Structure 1
Amino acid sequence: MKLLIKWILSALALLCVAYLYSGVEVRSFGAALIAALLIGLCNAIVRPVLVVLTLPVTVITLGLFLFVINALMFWAASGIAGSGFQVHGFWAALIGSLLYSIINLVIESLTSRLLFRE
């Protein structure tokens, strides 16, 4: 149940990003659900491999290269999702991924306090 709620809230966060920033387009809630699933899968499967492969660059840039990796995962998900979720370029992916991360962080902190008390 927690996973389903987090998935729906991530889709809502993606809709918020599209509302706040014109470089990211989401056509419907269904497209946001698919895009949130794809972003989650990219972050779970591809991102760890990229983090390990780019470790020297990440160390040299004091961790700032992780923003580039996040943007690439965001952009890759838009490429896989098709026309329902579009990101217009790398810089739009960078800004969109930053906004998405911030909104998800706020949602996660609120839901952990309100819904998921153990």
Structure 2
Amino acid sequence: MIRFALKVVLLAAVFYALTRFDVLPGLDVVPNPAGPLGEFGTYLWIALIFGIVNAIVGPVLRLLSLPFVLLTLGLFLLIINAALLGLTAALTDRMTIDGIGTAVIGGLILAVAGWVADQLLDR
């Protein structure tokens, strides 16, 4: 449970960096400064939603799309990550994604960040 919470905090920092420094122009987060944890609470909330969607819906999508993943040698996982990011944006009114290209690049960045978080937290 602590590992999941730390991963959510790391993903929140990635969401913050992506939107604050305009790394991905099509990904927008509208922070809520009046929220319980201020602006960073919005990023924590979005990261929590993304983590839950990734933990529940992600394995199901990966299993159902296994033939496509094998056929494309794993490149279809980028589309799955983009779909998970799009589902996260659909579940919250604080995040918007402008297009599929933005979702694919954002999903790739978040997948790499999640992998790095897993590597750091396994030690």
TM-score normalised over the length of structure 2: 0.79
Matched residues in 1 for 2:76 and 2:85: separation?
14
Match of 1:72 in 2: 83
- Which whole-Å CA distance do the structure 1 matches of 2:14 and 2:24 have between them? 12
**Root-mean-square deviation (CA), in Å?**
1.9
Q: How many angstroms apart in 2 are the aligned matches of 1:2 and 1:47?
A: 18
How many percent of aligned residue pairs carry the same amino acid?
33
Question: Is structure 2 residue 55 aligned with structure 1 residue 44?
Answer: yes
* Counterpart Cα distance in 2 of 1:53 and 1:2: 27
Structure 1: runs of 5 or more not aligned: none
Q: TM-score, normalised by structure 1?
A: 0.82
By how many angstroms is 1:101 displaced?
Answer: 2.6
- Partner residue, 1:3: 4
CA–CA distance in 2 between the matches of 1:107 and 1:50? 22
Equivalent residues, number: 112
Q: Which runs of no fewer than 5 residues in structure 2 stay unpaired?
A: 32-39
Secondary structure of 1:5's counterpart equals helix
Query: How far does residue 78 in structure 1 lie from its aligned partner after superposition?
Result: 0.6
Matched, 1:87 2:100: no
1:4 Cα deviation after fit: 2.9
Residue identity in the other structure for 1:11: A
Structure with bigger helix share is: 1
Contact kept in structure 1, 2:7 and 2:114, CA below 8 Å: no
Change (3 A) 1:57 1:104: closer
